[in-house]
Structure formats: C-alpha cells, structure tokens
Amino acid sequence: MFLLRRLAGTAVVVALLSIGVFCLLYLAPGSVQQTLLGTRPATPETIAAIQARYHLNDPLPVQYLSWLGGVLRGDLGTSIRTGMPVADMLGQRLPLTLALTGYGTVLAVLVGIPLGVAGALRRGRAADRLVVTAGVVGLSAPPFAVGLLLLVVFAAGLGWFPVYGVGEGFADQVLHLTLPAVALAVGAVGMLVRFSRAALIRELDQDYVVFARARGLGAPAVLGYALRNSLVPILTAAGLIVTGMLAGTVLVEVTFALPGLGSLLVDSVTFKDVPVVQALALLLTLLIAAVNLLVDVGYSAADPRVRLGGRPS
C-alpha cells in the first residue's frame, strides 16, 4: 500500500519533469530549426526534413506527445554532433557512470558509517573529535579539487594508480576507477559521518536503550537496537549522497578523462547538442527518482510503522 503510493508519486514526478526536459528544446537560444540543424546547411530540404522529423508544425502538446512516444519506444533522437542515435551513445556511457557512482557509494558507506558509529560510541573523547573534524574537512572539499590532489599525489607522484582511462578486465577497471571513486566519496563520507553519528547519539540516549541495558542485554544487542533505529536518518543521507554523486560525476569524469555520462554532458552542452542534453537530463531524472524510490523502500523495510501505517512516535 505504502509502496504503491510512493510508486504513483514517483511516476507523477517523472512525468512532470519530462515536460520540463522537452521544453529544453525551446529554451535553447535561437529558433528550434536552427538548434536542431546545428552546423548543417539550412537548405529548404533539410528544414523540411527537420520539420517532418520533429513534427514542428503541430501544436506543442502534440509535439510533446510524439516526442514522449519516441522516448518510450527507445527513440531518443539523433545526435547533432556525431549523427549517431542518442540511445546508443547513452548505452555506451551509462555503465561507467553507474559503476563509478556505485563504487563511490560503497566506499562512502563502508568508511562513513563505521566512523560515525565509532564517534557516537566514544562521544566527547579524542577519537570522536578526530572523526567530527575529518567529517567537516571531507564535507567542505569539492570533488574536483580532491580529484586533482589525488591525481598529483597517488598517480603522478607515487605512481600507484593510472592517471586516466578505464582499463581492461575487471581488476584493471577497478584500479582505474579507484581514484575517481575516492574523489567522489570524500564529501559523502563527511556527510554520512555526521548523520550516522548524530542519529546514533540520539538513539543511545533513548529510554529503550537504558531499559535494554537494565534488563541485561549484551552490548552488541543494545548497539543493534540503537543502530536499527538510526537507520531511517542514515538512509535519508545515503539517498542524498547517491543523487549528489550522480551530479558530481560530471566534474570527476572530466578531471580523470573518463568516458562516462558526465563527460558526455559537458561535450554536448559545449556543442549545443540539444537531443543528447535532453536525453541525459531525462536519464538523470529517472536515476534520481529511482534512488529516491529505493530509499522509500528502505524506510518501509527498516521501520514497521511506515509499512503498517502506524504513527512514528
């Protein structure tokens, strides 16, 4: 029931955003024909072809619906820059960006949450202060600057990691993606540390934790109680982190010369390749909506009150 409602909500959001994405075409400077023609010569034949291809003589809602119909069939148009179908270009680039985001998220979670937990358990002591300081530093470091620093130190200086490229084979690819993923993860670690530490500290002060200790539950069981209850704010932070990373890939992919969606976006924007920009915007919208939906699924798995319609107290 809860999930159905969330699913419907997500569908509405995606539909509304698709209208916005469609309108990108009209927001671009110059006439629509010019935009779509790009650098091709504007002969009457080419203009007629463009008008027929994009139904430019139809009223706007009809144009939108035919565009949407194409999108749903997998037809995202043709790139002005390369002349290739946009869907193929995205298909080539998507796996790298997904791998990079996934790798960065895993790193952030594996480092950020344990650090936050350690800080909460040693609240006020030296270890805690170190964790909090590290979190603030991570949060305030922009990914591309961290990327440059990592490149200079670990790739150019120490030579432990490759400077650019994606590599061949699984191990080599992981090696190539490590520095970009770390660059993405640094800020996320800072955020996760703060969220998980604050959430756990709040839960450790709750009555049910004192009660659990008082009736003789062991320390791991008590920590389990508190961690489970901290999960909802941590999930919220994780959702924000993944969406933030998707946006962060733009800069990091350029810094590390990786052929992902981010670098495609930069190239396409520079070239005014509107169909590609449209498709990328739509894809990012879908990815972010999917992440938020996953977070909602996570809430209902973590908290029976969400699932069973109780009032969270």
Partner 1 sequence: MGIAVEGLTVRQPATGRTLLSGVTFEVAPGESVAIVGESGSGKSLTVRAMLGLLPRGLEAAGTVRIAGERVDDDPRARARQRGGVVSLLMQDPFTLLNPLRGVGRQIADGLPRGADAKAEVPRLLAEVGLPADVAGRYPFQLSGGMRQRVGLAAALAGGPSVLVADEPTTALDATTQREVLALVRRVQRERHMAFVLITHDLRLAFSTCDRVMVMYAGRLMEAGGAAAVRREQLHPYTRALLAAEPPADRRLAVIPAVAGSVPAHDAVADRCAFADRCALAVAECRDGVPELRAVRDEPGAPAGVPAVRDEPGAPADVSAVRGESSAPAVRDARLSACLRATELPAPPAPEPGVAPALPVTADPVLRVRDLRRTFAGARRPALDGVSLSVAPGEVVGVVGESGSGKTTLARCVAGLERPDAGTILLGGADCSDYGRMGRGAVRQARRTAQMIFQDPYSTLNPARTVGAALGEALWADGRPAAPDDVARLLESVGLGRDMAGMRPAGLSGGERQRVAIARAVAGEPRLLICDEPVSALDVSVQAQILGLLAELRERLSMAMLFITHDLAVVRQIADRIYVLESGRCVETGPAEQVLDAPTHPYTRALLASVPDGSSGWLA
Q: Which residues bind partner 1 (CB under 8 A)?
A: 206-208, 210-217, 221, 225, 228-229, 302-305, 308, 310-313
Q: Which is nearer to partner 1, 181 or 227 (CB)?
A: 227
CB of 239 to partner 1, least distance (A): 19
Q: Which is nearer to partner 1, 29 or 312 (CB)?
A: 312
β-pair partners for 85: 78
Q: Which is nearer to partner 1, 56 or 302 (CB)?
A: 302
> Is 164:256 a contact under the CB 8 Å cutoff?
yes
Q: Which of 245, 254, 239 is nearest to 291 (CA)?
A: 239
C-beta contacts of 13-16 below 8 A and 24+ residues apart: 13/289, 14/285, 14/286, 14/289
Distance CA 77, CA 84 (A): 9
Count Cβ atoms within 10 A of the Cβ of residue 131 and give its class: 0-12 exposed, 13-18 middle, 19 or more buried: buried
Q: CB within 8 A of 236, min separation 6: which ones?
A: 195, 295
Q: Which is nearer to partner 1, 83 or 124 (CB)?
A: 124
For residue 29, give the amino acid letter: P
Q: Which is nearer to partner 1, 106 or 210 (CB)?
A: 210
Q: Which is nearer to partner 1, 165 or 218 (CB)?
A: 218
Distance CA 109, CA 143 (A): 17
Q: Which is nearer to partner 1, 55 or 213 (CB)?
A: 213
CB of 64 to partner 1, least distance (A): 37
CB of 230 to partner 1, least distance (A): 10
SS3 for 241? helix
> Is 312:302 a contact under the CB 8 Å cutoff?
no
The phi, psi pair for 85, rounded to 5°, reads: -60, 135
CB of 305 to partner 1, least distance (A): 5
Distance CA 299, CA 232 (A): 6
CB of 237 to partner 1, least distance (A): 18
- The token pair at 134 is 């590290």
CB of 217 to partner 1, least distance (A): 6
CB of 296 to partner 1, least distance (A): 17
Q: CB within 8 A of 44, min separation 6: which ones?
A: none
